[in-house]
Amino acid sequence: MTELVRLALAEDIGPGDVTTRACVPESRNAAGAFLAREPLIVAGMEVLAEIYHQRGGVAELELRKRDGDRCASGEPMAIVLGPAHTLLECERVALNFLQRLSGVATMARRFADAVQGTGCRVLDTRKTTPGMRLLEKLAAAAGGVVNHRLGLFDAILIKNNHITAAGSVRNAIEQARGSGLPIEIEVRTREELAEALDCGANHLLLDNLTPDEARQWIREIGGRAKVELSGGITLDNVRAYAETGADFVSSGAITHSARAVNISFLLELE
């Protein structure tokens, strides 16, 4: 996060905020409020603190909300006090992070609410903004979904191309067991399903099935393995998939299609 914030500030401020320098006295202090302009779930408060820390730590930040909190339209998320120069030069970077991350958290909460009571949990994916994965994963968790693997390094997910490269489902599973990491495998046909179960697979990924097809496959699996459903899962259909008996549903839409929510920054002189 530290490096990402540094890059964002350098990108926006560069050698200096020429507008603020030109028209605002350097000695002037101000207060600024981050205000929700629509109902949302808050995320990115830690990033907000890091932004002002990197600009010299001269601004005092008061958090009115924490990650995961609901925020009504018109409510303040945070108040910042300090030199007007600092507040103005950090405004856009702070809003960019808050709007994006709160957008992810808000989308995640909608998915989590949609499956409530089914016993099925929603997972996020690796379909994230390059460089922002950790922050977007934290925002998704703040919204109430479960983080899937962070990257290619912390869990094994054998997908169709891995099976092709390994030669078979059995080859892929047997080779992967030596890693000691959790193993999940995607199966595309009933034959692959039978082979995976015969090899002792305990976490299966079923991709691009209809809810009715998924229900039939899960009935056949009969509790012998955990089941995740993915592919084309949206807010409109996620509950239908969750009601099939799956343990998990995953959706890239939580991160790749989350809309930046409307947050404003209002400055007042002290």
Which CATH number covers residue 12?
3.90.1170.20
pTM (2 decimals)? 0.94
Number of domains forming the structure of the chain: 2
For residue 26, what are its two tokens?
């350097």
Q: CB-based burial of residue 170 (10 Å sphere; 0-12 exposed, 13-18 middle, 19+ buried)?
A: middle
pLDDT digits (tens, 9 = 90+) for 172-226: 999 998 888 888 999 999 999 999 999 989 999 999 999 999 999 999 999 999 9
pLDDT digits (tens, 9 = 90+) for 135-175: 999 999 999 999 999 999 988 999 999 999 999 999 999 99
Which CATH number covers residue 166?
3.20.20.70
Nearest Cα neighbor of 191 from 166, 170, 210 is 170
The residue segments making up the domain with residue 26 are: 2-111+258-269
* pLDDT grade for 1, boundaries at 50, 70 and 90: confident
Catalytic residues: 92, 127, 159, 186, 207
For residue 256, what are its two tokens?
């790749």
Mean of pLDDT values over 116-133: 96
Is the CB of residue 140 less than 8 Å from the CB of residue 106?
Answer: no
* 61 and 144 in a common domain: no
Residue 178: its pLDDT value, please?
85
Is the CB of residue 70 less than 8 Å from the CB of residue 228?
Answer: no
Torsion angle in degrees (nearest 10) through CA of 36, 37, 41, 42 = -30
* pLDDT grade for 34, boundaries at 50, 70 and 90: very high
Tell me phi and psi for residue 182, to 5 degrees: -60, 140
